[in-house]
Chains A and B, each alone.
Chain A
Amino acid sequence: MTGTVDATTEAARKAERKAAKQRLTEERRLRRAQEAEGREAARQREREAVVARAYAHYLHVRDWARRVSAAGRGVAAPLASAEAQMAAALAPLWNAAPEAVATLRRWTEPITGVRPSDYDNPPRDLALRLKYAVGTVRRHAGEDLFVEELPLLGGFGVEWHRRRYNEDTVRFFKALVALQDGGVLAECRGNVQRRLVWEIGGGWGGFALQFKTVCPNVTYLITGLPELLLVSAVYLMTAWPAARCRFYEPASAAELWTGWEELDFVFVPDGAVVDLDAPPIDVTLDVMTLQRMSAPRVALHVERAFDLGSRYCFSQVPGPCFRDELPAPWQAIARRYWVHQVPPPLDAAFFVVDRFHDAPAIDDYAQAVGWRRLRV
């Protein structure tokens, strides 16, 4: 009799323990779900704040771009067809809704040709190709020059080891490494003297973001078409809310460079390049911009860089490397600078072959650093 009572009591205890355990599990699940919801809500609020900030920047930059365009400072000389096509493709951004600004990176295909949709479900060969390229360059140059694609404003890419990158990221990474191998980057990475760097065109702001991340102690001048600046300025100001930016104003052009050492970014429309009166430039950068331009516009930019004292003129153009004839932009650069091509980082296996002229197959881009000529 006693044994039966004990067994019943034991079974009741077991059931009670089981029920308590289930309650605890359920409570934990609920708590986790609530926490996840809270985190998601916070992220959503943060995203909305970023988008609101981006849209406010957009309105500000658009007003400025319209103003300088109306003042005849938009474009320096007739555009080449490639530039005109790009500008036309970006034209819808003049009247962008907040939703469009929230996904600004997805509007940049006309600028670099990289299709965001390719990264929605990235094919395996694309992911492998990018991973291989990043791995090769990292082995050559180390980790510290690699800057990933930000998730900001519709940022996209393949993800590997918690790093997001796409074809733009890789190309910019290669440009940074070429600048390092060409001996230029070290000049901009010091903390002693503020450097002034001029990027012609500026793209969507991706290279500026990478360069400023690696070399914070520079003032970064971007000149370009108003449509391009509309993208790059909004992107950079959103990525760096604390960045100190200044915009060229035709009415007060003389004050543009007052206290320039305190600035992070300076935006100047293409039409003001011709009489740009900047302090001595340290480095001029062309990241696939000059190759779109007509010969007179290329010459205008190179001459201006030289006249402003730029010691180096870096240029990245589509490959192959080491072609027999210099690419057109480099021919213009060579009139004012000694052009030295920077070889791409190659796998060790290539060296064994020692067939130098096979190098073009290795890389998609050719990169060179121009050293300022003393006698021209």
Chain B
Amino acid sequence: MNPAGSGLPASGGSQTPTAQSPKVVLGMPAYDRPDALARTIESILSQTFRDFALVVADDAPSARTQGMVEAYAGGVVPVTYEANGRRLGMIGNWRRVFQRARELYPSSEYFAWVSDHDLWHARWLETLVAVLDEHPGVVLAYPRHLQVTSGGVRWSAKEKTFETFGLSDPGRRLARSARDMLSGDMIYGLMRARALEAAGVFRRVITPDRQVLLALALYGQFRQVPDVLWYREFLHRFDIARQRKAFFPGGVPLYAYAPPHVQHFATLLWDFALRGRGRPLFGRLAGLGYAARQLWWSCVRDVVRPKMEWRKLRPISET
């Protein structure tokens, strides 16, 4: 058992904290999707669980986006819109929205990133909050989903079921995550904010969602709920070149061309073996072992699961 709420560092100080933090904060890193934004925000504000706030960080500010978001402010759910002064890129914006969420609501328990184009079922939060409330050892809960494409809605190409629920050993959780996890589905799950903070939020590497979830696996279990509560827009297949461009608007650093597993290994090594960020849960030596284990199992994953159809670099409409 690795109680996620204990043994973690205290949350950082706040700049302008609100009087009372809601239980959940949703962070939306927005980037120029006014076509889908109203529908998305309405799906979020329709949640049956009401004790949450929405923080929007806009990386492509426009009056239209701002107007749409602010049209929904003033209701029961606090909605905050902030435009970035300069383009931060996808990683920077995801980090920014988490940082602002923690500043505005420092004592909120749970956090989730929400996109500006996906859809969330009204029971999404209620269901996931219940899982985290009931299981202190779980740091991330996420639902099944449908894929929304230009042609409508479909089931994903394979049944994506993955969880580390019931595994008390951090090393086994990390190994299983490195081998089987599909991070793109899980990064929009509901997480314990302090565990996420300790895991490092988003690092400046390729597939940063996978990196942060691997680190998060060391802090607790992942739980998947069987209900379909998320409609995920799926317009492009995984494209590493597109990721580099979106992540590093100021120029792609050389290390970003290294294999993602090596980048993740380096960050885990730096965080947990050299800086000892895993303490008091685990020491530097254990951190070194975890980083090595991540590299091994990620390589095994690539060997036993060779490049799949969904990894081809084509937009769906061309298939």
Chain A interface residues (CB < 8 Å from chain B):
181-183, 186-187, 311, 321-322, 338, 340-343, 345-346, 351-352, 354-357, 359, 371-375
Residues of B within 8 A of A359 (CB): 151-152, 154
Residues of A within 8 A of B154 (CB): 343, 356, 359
Interface residues of B in 142-169 (CB under 8 A from A): 146, 149, 151-155, 157-158
Residues of B within 8 A of A352 (CB): 309
Residues of A within 8 A of B43 (CB): 338, 371
Residues of A within 8 A of B71 (CB): 375
B72, B123, B149, B158: which contacts A187 (Cβ < 8 A)? B123
The answer to whether A356 and B119 have CB atoms under 8 Å apart is no
Question: Which residue of chain B lies nearest to A357 when distances are taken between CB atoms in the complex?
Answer: B151
The answer to whether B149 and A354 have CB atoms under 8 Å apart is no
Question: Which residue of chain B lies nearest to A338 when distances are taken between CB atoms in the complex?
Answer: B39
A340, A342, A374: which contacts B119 (Cβ < 8 A)? A340
Count of CB-CB pairs between chains A and B under 8 Å: 69
The answer to whether B228 and A181 have CB atoms under 8 Å apart is yes
The answer to whether A354 and B157 have CB atoms under 8 Å apart is yes
Question: Which residue of chain A lies nearest to B316 when distances are taken between CB atoms in the complex?
Answer: A356
Interface of B is mostly: mixed
B39 nearest CB across to chain A (Å): 6
Q: Please measure, in the bound complex, the distance between the C-alpha atom of A288 and the C-alpha atom of B219, giving whole angstroms.
A: 50
Interface residues of B in 76-133 (CB under 8 A from A): 119, 121-123
Taking A340-B119, A354-B309, A371-B43 as contacts, is the C-beta distance between A183 and B229 under 8 angstroms? yes
The answer to whether A342 and B46 have CB atoms under 8 Å apart is no
Q: Please measure, in the bound complex, the distance between the C-alpha atom of A343 and the C-alpha atom of B155, giving whole angstroms.
A: 7
Question: Which residue of chain A lies nearest to B124 when distances are taken between CB atoms in the complex?
Answer: A183
Q: Please measure, in the bound complex, the distance between the C-alpha atom of A372 and the C-alpha atom of B48, giving whole angstroms.
A: 12
Question: Which residue of chain B lies nearest to A312 when distances are taken between CB atoms in the complex?
Answer: B122
Residues of B within 8 A of A345 (CB): 155
6 smallest CB-CB distances across A and B, nearest first, come from: A322-B152, A183-B121, A356-B151, A374-B42, A351-B157, A343-B154
Q: Please measure, in the bound complex, the distance between the C-alpha atom of A183 and the C-alpha atom of B319, giving whole angstroms.
A: 29
The answer to whether B152 and A182 have CB atoms under 8 Å apart is no
The answer to whether A371 and B319 have CB atoms under 8 Å apart is no
| 0/1 string, B33-67, CB within 8 A of A gives 1 | 00000110011011000000000000000000000
B227 CB–A CB distance under 8 Å: yes
B121 nearest CB across to chain A (Å): 4
Q: Please measure, in the bound complex, the distance between the C-alpha atom of A209 and the C-alpha atom of B155, giving whole angstroms.
A: 28
The answer to whether B42 and A373 have CB atoms under 8 Å apart is yes
B231 CB–A CB distance under 8 Å: yes
Q: Please measure, in the bound complex, the distance between the C-alpha atom of A342 and the C-alpha atom of B121, giving whole angstroms.
A: 13
Question: Which residue of chain B lies nearest to A356 when distances are taken between CB atoms in the complex?
Answer: B151
22 inter-chain pairs at a CB distance below 8 angstroms, sorted by A residue, are A183-B227, A186-B123, A322-B152, A338-B39, A338-B119, A340-B231, A341-B153, A342-B153, A343-B153, A343-B155, A346-B155, A351-B155, A351-B157, A354-B319, A356-B152, A356-B316, A357-B151, A359-B152, A359-B154, A371-B46, A371-B119, A375-B38
The answer to whether A340 and B122 have CB atoms under 8 Å apart is no
Interface residues of B in 216-242 (CB under 8 A from A): 227-229, 231
A360 nearest CB across to chain B (Å): 10
A348 nearest CB across to chain B (Å): 9
The answer to whether B42 and A375 have CB atoms under 8 Å apart is yes
Residues of B within 8 A of A351 (CB): 155, 157-158
Number of residues in B with C-beta < 8 Å to the partner? 28
Residues of B within 8 A of A321 (CB): 152
Q: Please measure, in the bound complex, the distance between the C-alpha atom of A359 and the C-alpha atom of B153, giving whole angstroms.
A: 10
The answer to whether A182 and B228 have CB atoms under 8 Å apart is yes
Residues of A within 8 A of B42 (CB): 338, 371, 373-375
Chain B interface residues (CB < 8 Å from chain A):
38-39, 42-43, 45-46, 71-72, 119, 121-123, 146, 149, 151-155, 157-158, 227-229, 231, 309, 316, 319
B38, B45, B152, B316: which contacts A343 (Cβ < 8 A)? B152
The answer to whether A183 and B123 have CB atoms under 8 Å apart is yes
The answer to whether A374 and B45 have CB atoms under 8 Å apart is yes
Further contacts, 15 of them, CB under 8 A, given A186-B227, A374-B42: A181-B146, A182-B228, A183-B227, A187-B123, A322-B153, A342-B146, A343-B152, A346-B155, A354-B157, A371-B42, A371-B43, A371-B119, A371-B122, A373-B42, A375-B72
Q: Please measure, in the bound complex, the distance between the C-alpha atom of A346 and the C-alpha atom of B153, giving whole angstroms.
A: 13
Residues of A within 8 A of B122 (CB): 183, 311, 371
Q: Please measure, in the bound complex, the distance between the C-alpha atom of A262 and the C-alpha atom of B151, giving whole angstroms.
A: 44
Taking A183-B229, A371-B46 as contacts, is the C-beta distance between A341 and B152 under 8 angstroms? yes
Q: Please measure, in the bound complex, the distance between the C-alpha atom of A167 and the C-alpha atom of B155, giving whole angstroms.
A: 24
The answer to whether A183 and B228 have CB atoms under 8 Å apart is yes
B235 nearest CB across to chain A (Å): 12
B190 nearest CB across to chain A (Å): 16
The answer to whether B227 and A356 have CB atoms under 8 Å apart is no
Question: Which residue of chain B lies nearest to A354 when distances are taken between CB atoms in the complex?
Answer: B319
Question: Which residue of chain A lies nearest to B156 when distances are taken between CB atoms in the complex?
Answer: A351
The answer to whether A322 and B45 have CB atoms under 8 Å apart is no
B129 nearest CB across to chain A (Å): 15
Residues of B within 8 A of A346 (CB): 155
Residues of B within 8 A of A187 (CB): 123
Q: Please measure, in the bound complex, the distance between the C-alpha atom of A357 and the C-alpha atom of B231, giving whole angstroms.
A: 18
Q: Please measure, in the bound complex, the distance between the C-alpha atom of A373 and the C-alpha atom of B40, giving whole angstroms.
A: 11
The answer to whether A340 and B72 have CB atoms under 8 Å apart is no
Q: Please measure, in the bound complex, the distance between the C-alpha atom of A183 and the C-alpha atom of B42, giving whole angstroms.
A: 17
Residues of B within 8 A of A182 (CB): 228
Residues of B within 8 A of A343 (CB): 146, 152-155
Question: Which residue of chain A lies nearest to B146 when distances are taken between CB atoms in the complex?
Answer: A343
A208 nearest CB across to chain B (Å): 23
Question: Which residue of chain B lies nearest to A185 when distances are taken between CB atoms in the complex?
Answer: B227
The answer to whether B155 and A356 have CB atoms under 8 Å apart is no
Taking A186-B123, A354-B157, A374-B72 as contacts, is the C-beta distance between A322 and B227 under 8 angstroms? no
Question: Which residue of chain A lies nearest to B309 when distances are taken between CB atoms in the complex?
Answer: A354
Q: Please measure, in the bound complex, the distance between the C-alpha atom of A43 and the C-alpha atom of B231, giving whole angstroms.
A: 51
Residues of A within 8 A of B153 (CB): 322, 340-343
Residues of B within 8 A of A357 (CB): 151
